[in-house]
Structure 1
Amino acid sequence: MAERRLSLRNGRVLDPASGLDQLMDLHLSDGRIVALGPPPTGFSPEQVIDADGLIVCPGLVDLCARLREPGLEHKGTIASETRAAAAGGITTLCCPPDTDPVADTPAVAQLIRRRAKTRGFARVLPVGALTKGLAGQQITEMAALKEAGCPVVGHGDKPIRNTRVQRRALEYAATFGLTSFLHPADHDLSEGGLAHEGRVSTQLGLPGIPEAAETVAVARDLALAEQTGARVHFRGLSTGRATEMLAEARERGIAASADVSVHQLFLTEEHLYGFDANAHLVPPLRTARDRDVLREAVASGAISAICSDHRPHEPDAKLAPFPQTRPGISALETLLALVLELARDHVMDLGTALARVTCNPAAILNRCIGQIAVGARADLCVFDLNERWRPGPENWLSRGQNTPFFGREMQGRVRYTLASGRLVYDARNGG
């Protein structure tokens, strides 16, 4: 197969991993970056993209995005959702194991990867299940899952209730050098809850999920991580206190990390007024103080990654009375714009903000992605930092239109996305 050669010219190349921030050209060949600045001797590109006035950064790495395939194709497919990911500048994403069938065998993991390779617009990395069927009873063959392409293992939104099983699962994962993605929620404290337990849930008459549902789970899992020496990653922290607990544990040398869903950095329990089903989320939206502490933790690096926590739904899933609606937000296409808003709000500088969605999540996955360097995979996001736009049904690619951000003015929009050197999104033709 002939090499594909492409040049990106006149762009502001910003690579958080190396600190590079400079106007320069990039040259790609056969899916890799072959030169920064002047082209290699004799290099003749087949395609040239003029990136004048645009920022060129590594393709985004999303640690949690449900693609709904296999099993829930009426909500979304690998093709539809990775196309939306490409429109958001995302080139690599992890899908949780709670597919149907569950990703608890090499066959299911390979099925997801194979479909993504043939139908997708982004690299899909399946998260292998910690226990069979996510039932929390019998641990999976994690070595086989790793061999099948699962870079990490996890349990989706179903916490393992049996602490002994949890300990055994963490020990077994550590044996194979696998990080365990953990949902920080105590099942018994959170079961049946619909909103953060507090003033707003009381006023609205909604069953509450207390802060302790998260802090109790984090305390247990940090103790198990310290006991077993396992590496754990808390998928989607939502409370300030849990964030503080994580920082304290890291200071003691516990191998733990965490991410936060981007909407938790903007929305609070106040958005539940009016019973907006698009604000029905797991974990629930918390208080303004929690949001502010989460922002501080992301800025300091105590929380090292931001993810979309993408959960597309069919329209009917959000049309019932609030308690009967399905939780989740369609979030791939607004991830970058919201991260850029954090920089504009001076929560952190632009390079730090981009690190939280590029090299930092790549490090959690232990993958050589999310960086711009000679020899690196040519996964790139090219965006206009200043373009203003409003997400809405007319410009939305995900099958799920369940987002509270429709109509909100955003600043910063993707123009091109390249995955392994292949142009997978071009805003000039709508994708």
Structure 2
Amino acid sequence: MRPASLDDMVGQRRLLAEGSALRRAIASGHVHSMILWGPPGCGKTTLALLLARYAEAEYRAISAVLSGLPDVRKVLAEADHRFAEGRRTVLFVDEVHRFNKAQQDAFLPHIERGTILFVGATTENPSFELNSALLSRCRVHVLEAVSADDIQVALRRALQDSERGLGAQSVEASDSALSEIAHAADGDVRRALTLLEIAAELAVEEGGTISDSTLMQVLADRTRRFDKGGEQFYDQISALHKSVRSSNPDAALYWLVRMLDGGCDPIYLARRLTRMAVEDIGLADPRALQMATDAWDAYDRLGSPEGELALAQVTIYLASTAKSNAAYNAYKAARRDVAEHGTQEVPLHLRNAPTRLMKSLGYGRDYQYDHDAEGGIALDQTGFPDAMGEQVYYRPVERGMEIKLKQKLDHLRAARTDARERHGGGLPD
């Protein structure tokens, strides 16, 4: 049922709309080397075949999963011979992101000379997976998952086509049945056709109609698209983190369940939730970190699926509670100063003085024991290296528990400033 013309393509309405640049180029045969980036079953291979057909070029395909550099060189040598005879070659490289840099580089001179029209297909972000030299010689076209409505068109077409499809079997299917198959395919036309074929085989044995009971058998194990190591994975964990940060517990729970449903390691999610507790909630609600580690521990003890409820619970809490990144920003500011100021000496009054020699050298001299000071804090005593002076890294926000911390620290910082001024600036500024 692979489309024989651009008009037969389902989906990709943005990319292949009437009058679009790519459609005009393919239809006229004036095509360029390109990278087709999109999810499985969205039409990447079909588009490459149509490109060769409209350009009246030889079509050759290799898979980066199954082919090595010797296979690449052989195909390129054949393309060179064809080019010398005035014939063009469309070379389709499936899963091109699986080729290493040396294998990708092998295509470069042939693309530049025009020996081949290179079409690489990838489900991964080309920016991360393909080298810049190859990207600079190809145009990247982004393909989208095919909508359920468009998939349903392809399914109906397959049922009616007697030559290439299932028309000869006289299988009947209602629109609702085809809609269920289309939604179960999750944007993958190839997967939808496979499900339809299985359902049709069962229907022939049961009277020729795809019934609800047949669909239950075929669609019993529905799985969603999820790549545990690819861009889709990082997009989803980003969505989870940002939903927590935006105090949207419903969206956060949705993305958590999406990742669990896709097979993400729950321990990875527990670790990321703990990070959110310290990065985005921080001291606005110190209980968040304890709850995150408790949920992690609960999952370790309970396992799946019971332990996943603990992760869901802490996700809801993290998204619902007060937020502050003040501690996170303070840590980064301190790191910047450590890198900038190098190895500063510890002020003498803060040094440890366990021996008589150290005491004679001034270690610990003039140190004020805070518990003996008025109010329990020695206000006229610095804690920073002399060359740096007092610094302010931690700036609490007026949310959650940090409201009280801010009030206390604002008072203490003002009191320390007053103490410095009373001593005539004796403390480093």
* TM-score of the alignment, normalized to the shorter chain, above 0.5: no
Structure with a larger share of its residues in helix: 2
Where on the TM-score scale, by shorter chain, does this alignment land: which range?
under 0.3
Query: Over alpha carbons, which structure has the higher Rg?
Result: 2
The one of the two structures with greater contact order (alpha-carbon pairs below 8 A, sep at least 6) is 1
TM-score by length of 2: 0.22
TM-score by length of 1: 0.22
